[in-house]
Amino acid sequence: MSNRQSPNARLVGRGRLLAVPIWLYLGLIGVAVLVFGGISMSLVIGIPFTLLALFGLASIAYARVWVDGPTLYSRHVFGYREPIRMDELLRAELTGFERYRGRQLWLTRADGKRVVLDATNLRLKPLYGELARYIPAGSSTANPLLHKRMEAARPIIAVPPPSAATESSWTT
């Protein structure tokens, strides 16, 4: 199986625009220290802050998550990750906001392979709806925080799409 998504895969996660100002602020601090600080301040603060901000902005621009049936594909700054099947998940956990990592979504298969998605810089709301299709309410597969996010999407996915016959009766 290829690590790249098929052309008919649906986008369910992309960079969160609300994270851009934070990364720009860090970049501004880094550039200001590079310009106005001395050599030691530039080496200690300016360069690391600027590089960190550039990496954060690149991850927002480049990171994506797609779903094609039960298969989840993801891409980050360093390339495509190995796809994971949502119907084979052993554990799905949404972490709380951690000091040096932010919030992450860990998806673990039965064979122990794990995909980690950045839930801080990615907007994953559509993905929570897709996960709700494969993880029943109250299941021990997901942790309570993830169940809370999936619960908001459950009523939307529980309603079947209208059939062609129903649509034609609305227009007449």
Q: How far apart are CA 24 and CA 31, in angstroms?
A: 10
> Which pLDDT belongs to residue 38?
85
pTM: 0.77
Q: What residue ranges do the domains of the chain occupy?
A: 13-60, 67-158
- pLDDT value for 142: 92
Q: What is the pLDDT of residue 14?
A: 93
Q: How many CA atoms lie within 13 Å of 19's alpha carbon, on the beta-carbon side?
A: 20
Among 35, 89, 25, 86, which Cα is nearest to 57's? 25
| Residue entry with tokens 């949404």 | 94
Cα–Cα distance, 9 to 75 (Å, whole number): 13
Q: pLDDT value at position 123? A: 93
**Domain spanning 67-158, CATH architecture:** Roll (2.30)
At residue 162, the pLDDT reads 52
Instruction: Summarize pLDDT for 130-151 with one digit per residue, the tens.
Output: 999 899 888 899 999 999 999 8
- 111 near 101, Cβ under 8 Å? no
Q: pLDDT at position 172, please? A: 47
Q: What is the pLDDT of residue 126?
A: 92
Name residues of the chain where pLDDT drops below 70.
1-2, 154-172
pLDDT value at residue 97: 84
Alpha helices (runs of H) in 63-163, residue ranges in sequence order? 125-134, 144-158
Residue 47: the pLDDT is: 92
Q: Which two tokens stand for residue 81?
A: 């990750």
